[in-house]
Structure 1
Amino acid sequence: MNFLSPYAFWLAVTLPIVVVFYLLKRRRKVQVVASSMLWRKFLAETQASTPFQKLRHHWLLIFQLLMLALAILAMARPYFSGNVSEGGLLVVIMDTSASMQSTDVPPTRMDAAIKKAGKLIDTLSDTDQMMILAAGRQTRVLQSATSEKNKLQRALKSIEASDTSTYLLDAFKLARTLVDGQELAEIHLFSDGAASDLNKFDPTDLNINYHPIGTRSDNVGIVSLDVRPNPDDETTRAIFAGVVNYSTSRADLIVELQWNDQTIEARPLELEPGSTDSQVFIAPQSENGIFSLKLNRDDDLAADNQASVVSLLPKPARILLVTRGNRFLEKALNSISNIELAAVDQLTDAPPDVDLVVLDKITPLAWPTVNTLAMHVTHTNWIESANTVESPVIVDWKAAHPLLRFVQLDDVQIAETLEVKTPNWAMSVVESTRTPLILAGEKEGQRMVWAGFDTLQSTWPLRISFPIFIANAVEWLNPTTSQASMVNVRTGDAMIATLEETDPKPVMLLPDGQKTSVITNPGSRQVIFADTLRQGIYRLQNGSTEVVFASNLIDASESDNGPREELNLGGYNQVTRTGQKRADLEIWRWLVLAALIVLMLEWWYYHKRTA
């Protein structure tokens, strides 16, 4: 047995004081009585209180000495230590995603996780250290490595679940770095396991302990919401929504569509367990506004029962085509509705008032400042190219990118292409074995799509995927479309806006009604706001203008909130649930309890004797 506060034993000097009190003779008042026969049984006690007389057997004295000794021992904080040569490091990862707001474990899974992690803190030995990470859209270190349990408990209680998706990969990568070189290191994850980003994480040589939170899956959620122009009526909009029932029983609910907070349609919906339903609404729109979809049903997760879309009225895209002749490209552009197309064979000055420029094998004297689609051209400020690659073979393309929606490229042959390195501003959306073939990205507020090959020196214009790609490119480069994508973001993603006025103090109105200042760079009209952890409508107020944003969860893996007993780490491994760690604890609390019991015994004995 060891002691954390051995100096408490100095209080043992109070034990003889208690004995001295019993040795000292008490001053008694002399009283004449008729007979002493009734007082003889107290004679022994009277003699024991005479100074310097030998102490006799006295239960009250024994109780008081024992109680004081137990109190002193408790203040010395005794504990039992194991045979551990050095302390270990425990890295705790707390999942703060939206599914941790589920109420199947009252009050929420987040509260249950905090309570469970708090018990793990109590098991720490004096040589152990712990770190606490909050795994959200960005991983945050809430508490650096420490063995002070009070600090760890305070950091733990400061955690709140957000409305974002589950992002555990960055947290595990950081945890791997923290435990690197530590022999007695452990990683403890407190989560419901609704993570889809761990497929490429290798847990080799890591001691991962998974603590699953949650008991059931009872949730119906919105997993998709989009607004498109109605091809049959330009004055109306088509709203597409996807709803999934992740519970184990049939769900009866009402789906409600609102326009600027006013209900315009409500439909009853019945969903069998595990089923998906697609809803299409047609609604008139005469101005920019907000479509909101609500599910009127009480379930375990409320975060996915509502979603909103900022709907901007479509405007004709003014396109300037710079080419010396490419009828395939011209035909593909003319097949797109709601555009105004003009063609020139050279661009000598800054482009006129257009929304986007298409460059076909022509390097302009004045590079466009608007969004640009460039084919087989280079510009030193954007792309650096020196060599040519003959007969490049397409090996991969990003089918999830908006440019390549419904595009198949496995039957396209290319004669030659420019060899480039992917610049920092872009990402490669179509790859060959040696060089990127198509790049897409944004630089200083200007979007650009770049193709390194001549489309007429390929079989692509003969494939149906070519006009589809051109239509996707125009939609992605159209400022109106890009603005619509910028004002509708996922929770946790940054909102980006370009200010029309130079107000030095723009303000963001949050979904809960609170206001917060937005920091802007001097001389810049661009505003970046990243604190979007809560879903709802955000309003950027700048002088007399206002920019409206919608932030939504819309994540099928998050809506599927059933707890996972195993954590899937891709093709590497699976981590199953972990029991609570056992460790020796301090015993001072039990000593205090024993002292209280002795105090009660003394009280009982005293009253019994004097009764």
Structure 2
Amino acid sequence: MTILNPSAFYLLLLLGIILFFYLLKGRPRKVIVSSTLFWRRIRQALPAQRPRWRLPPELLLFLQIALLTLLIMALAQFLLSRKEKKEFIVIVMDTTASMQATDLIPNRLAVAKKRAQEFIKELPENTQLALVQAGKRPQLIANFSDERSYLLKRLKALTPADVRGNETAALELANSILPTQTQGRVIFFTDGAFELDLDSLPQTVELVPLDKKNSRNLAITSFELRPRTEDSEKYELLVKVTNFSLQKERFSLRLWLGQNLIFKSESALSSQEEKKYIHNLEVKQKTILKAEIYPYPQDDLAIDNTAYALPGFSERLNVLLVSRGNLFLKATLESYPQVNLYQKQTILPEELSGYDLIIFDNIVPPPLKRGNIVCLGVLPPNLSLEEQDPQPNPILTEWQIDHPLLRFVNLENMNVRQSLGIETLPEADILLRSSAGPLIQVWQSGGLRLLFIGFDLYNSDFPLQIGFPIFIFNLLQWFHPQVFDPTYSQIQTGEEFVIFPKAQKEEITIVNPHNEIITIEDRKDPLIFSETTIAGVYTLDGKSLFTANLLSAHESNLLSRVTFSAASREVNRQVKNEYSESKLSLSPMLILLSCLLLFIEWYLYHFPGAIGKKKSKFSKRTA
């Protein structure tokens, strides 16, 4: 037995108060009268002439002592410990894309769930079961419980997702939730279509393999789109098709741009052979590009036979250059057809929201709260930084070559004649350091994204470097990837997608490829959208937003690649009983018993002669 709150026993001192009042009640004096007819009702109300030093044997006193004692014991929280024979089992169900294969009828997941249901029904009733879904990100569906109906209901509701799995993470999650005092088991229902040495895993893991037939599958394993450097409307497309069957397969590849068929090819591939297709296309505006393969006959997995992309741009950026005149910036920005360039020497705070990007070239901006801002050689007034004296000829010491803003930009030969002497912005990402302090840093706070360059372009030879136009393109792409990055709108299923909505809304509505509406109310800027487990085209406000494709040779290869010792690692239906200690709280029972005693005390106090009358009636009848 365990007591969680022993300090509650200090309340036993209250018993002394009850005893003290009973001692003050006093001892009644015997008086001989001719009749008790008029004294019977007021007998108990007569004041005592002197206190009594011995407690009276009254039933109400014992009831009150017992009632207070039970309440104190309930507050002390008595726990009864007992050992039970239980087994803890975690059911791990593979729900990745390969489980949609139809080489088993109706598909692999349905067969795996049926086997899991049969296994669960054969277990003893006291077995504690938990359910883990093995997908792109493993998820605990149901924690340990002996309620079979609830777990079977959650198991039945599982559906396959168009994602690549992370089997190791799923098994690690399953092992982590096993109770430490017991060994437990992890039962993994899967098709084994992944590379994993099961013998390297803990002995708690047991595999339930599916009896698969000769699987056939052709898949699009690569779908890459990149713009031609000489024209932003021309693209180069790379499509790679792989045969994962054990025999030669014939197929037809078709490319669709919107509703127009732009390419068709008939081909055949030997087992484990791949073929690449390169196609040039011209896109005037944002359009859905779709690649489809048609195997002859139909293969066992259809989700990897289609891939989507969104070439072209559907919007133009309004870029404001606040400057007294900068030919380098003007010429570079005007070279992009996606940019509508505006120039001013001053700007009011209420005008800031009317532009997608604002560049302040050596002109102090108004206080900034939101927007995409570039400050060249000047610091916003609302940032709490102390500006020091200008620093002559700073020496460049370090820069982040892997940051998107400095990709393919060589700063080794750049010279700066004078820089601003400022501190590092709070929680800023420093891209370029020098002997005089940070020269280029990125700062984000709420809806404000700020790129600060701590020197005037005319005080450096940066505009004369070959990397300057590349830096401006990286800048535009970093602030607005939806316009300048052709790969922005194409992700792999299960990955997060970053949305930069132009208009501020209380909620946004996204429609997935299954025409399911997803409404997001608590929106941040930018928005991280993670419900991308379905392959296809996602739309926002009726316009195509991005595409999600499987494009995974890991999942498209339906052959089992798990190596394990079948004799020692296949699932064993024999129960491994483990002693687990369970604790039963006595507080609810003590409180219920206290309520019963309280009712008895109330009854005896208001009807003190009820028990005596019943006894006298019973004695007369027996007589």
TM-score w.r.t. the length of structure 1 is 0.59
Question: In the alignment, which residue of structure 1 is the partner of 2:113?
Answer: 114
Tell me if structure 2 keeps the 8 A contact 1:94–1:189: yes
Question: In the alignment, which residue of structure 2 is the partner of 1:136?
Answer: 135
The answer to whether structure 1 residue 397 and structure 2 residue 399 are counterparts is no
2:301 is matched by which residue type in structure 1? Answer: L
1:481-492 to 2 correspondences below 5 Å: 481=483, 488-492=490-494
**How far apart, CA to CA, are the structure 1 residues paired with 2:188 and 2:147?**
20
Displacement of 1:184 in angstroms is 1.3
526 and 342 in structure 1: CA distance in 2 versus 1, 3 angstrom threshold: closer
Tell me if structure 2 keeps the 8 A contact 1:448–1:477: no
Question: In the alignment, which residue of structure 2 is the partner of 1:95?
Answer: 94
**How far apart, CA to CA, are the structure 1 residues paired with 2:439 and 2:553?**
32
**How far apart, CA to CA, are the structure 2 residues paired with 1:107 and 1:169?**
27
* 2:569 counterpart SS class: coil
1:344-363 to 2 correspondences below 5 Å: 349=349, 350-351=351-352, 354-358=355-359
Could you list the runs of 5+ residues in structure 1 that have no partner in the other structure?
A: 1-83, 568-573, 586-611
Question: In the alignment, which residue of structure 2 is the partner of 1:474?
Answer: 476
Displacement of 1:363 in angstroms is 5.9
Question: In the alignment, which residue of structure 2 is the partner of 1:511?
Answer: 513
The answer to whether structure 1 residue 301 and structure 2 residue 301 are counterparts is yes
Displacement of 1:86 in angstroms is 4.3
* 2:86 counterpart SS class: coil
1:156 is matched by which residue type in structure 2? Answer: L
Tell me if structure 2 keeps the 8 A contact 1:322–1:357: yes
Tell me if structure 2 keeps the 8 A contact 1:216–1:563: no
Question: In the alignment, which residue of structure 2 is the partner of 1:156?
Answer: 155
Question: In the alignment, which residue of structure 2 is the partner of 1:551?
Answer: 548
1:257 is matched by which residue type in structure 2? Answer: L
Once the two structures are superposed, what CA deviation does each residue of 1:453-484 show, in whole Å capped at 9, x if it has no partner?
A: 99999999898666544423322323751797
**How far apart, CA to CA, are the structure 2 residues paired with 1:438 and 1:195?**
43
* 2:304 counterpart SS class: coil
1:47-62 to 2 correspondences below 5 Å: none
Displacement of 1:218 in angstroms is 3.9
2:554 is matched by which residue type in structure 1? Answer: S
Question: In the alignment, which residue of structure 1 is the partner of 2:258?
Answer: 260
- Which sits farther off after the overlay, 252-261 or 457-466? 457-466
Tell me if structure 2 keeps the 8 A contact 1:291–1:310: yes
Displacement of 1:132 in angstroms is 0.3
**How far apart, CA to CA, are the structure 1 residues paired with 2:486 and 2:567?**
43
Displacement of 1:499 in angstroms is 8.2
2:241 is matched by which residue type in structure 1? Answer: V
1:534 is matched by which residue type in structure 2? Answer: I
Tell me if structure 2 keeps the 8 A contact 1:371–1:478: no
Once the two structures are superposed, what CA deviation does each residue of 1:194-234 show, in whole Å capped at 9, x if it has no partner?
A: 679x99xxx99784445555676643322333555555666
**How far apart, CA to CA, are the structure 1 residues paired with 2:376 and 2:85?**
63
Quick one: percent identity of the two aligned structures?
Answer: 25
Tell me if structure 2 keeps the 8 A contact 1:566–1:577: no
Tell me if structure 2 keeps the 8 A contact 1:187–1:208: yes
Question: In the alignment, which residue of structure 2 is the partner of 1:39?
Answer: none
Tell me if structure 1 keeps the 8 A contact 2:315–2:483: no
**How far apart, CA to CA, are the structure 2 residues paired with 1:135 and 1:469?**
42
**How far apart, CA to CA, are the structure 2 residues paired with 1:464 and 1:222?**
38
* 2:239 counterpart SS class: strand
326 and 205 in structure 1: CA distance in 2 versus 1, 3 angstrom threshold: farther
* 2:116 counterpart SS class: helix
Question: In the alignment, which residue of structure 2 is the partner of 1:533?
Answer: 533
Displacement of 1:305 in angstroms is 0.8
396 and 86 in structure 1: CA distance in 2 versus 1, 3 angstrom threshold: farther
Q: Which of the two has higher C-alpha Rg?
A: 2
Question: In the alignment, which residue of structure 1 is the partner of 2:310?
Answer: 310
307 and 461 in structure 1: CA distance in 2 versus 1, 3 angstrom threshold: same
**How far apart, CA to CA, are the structure 2 residues paired with 1:382 and 1:301?**
56
**How far apart, CA to CA, are the structure 2 residues paired with 1:159 and 1:228?**
37
Tell me if structure 2 keeps the 8 A contact 1:212–1:564: no
Question: In the alignment, which residue of structure 1 is the partner of 2:24?
Answer: none
**How far apart, CA to CA, are the structure 2 residues paired with 1:125 and 1:500?**
58
Displacement of 1:256 in angstroms is 0.8
2:473 is matched by which residue type in structure 1? Answer: A
**How far apart, CA to CA, are the structure 2 residues paired with 1:330 and 1:173?**
55
**How far apart, CA to CA, are the structure 2 residues paired with 1:186 and 1:207?**
5
Could you list the runs of 5+ residues in structure 2 that have no partner in the other structure?
A: 1-82, 577-623
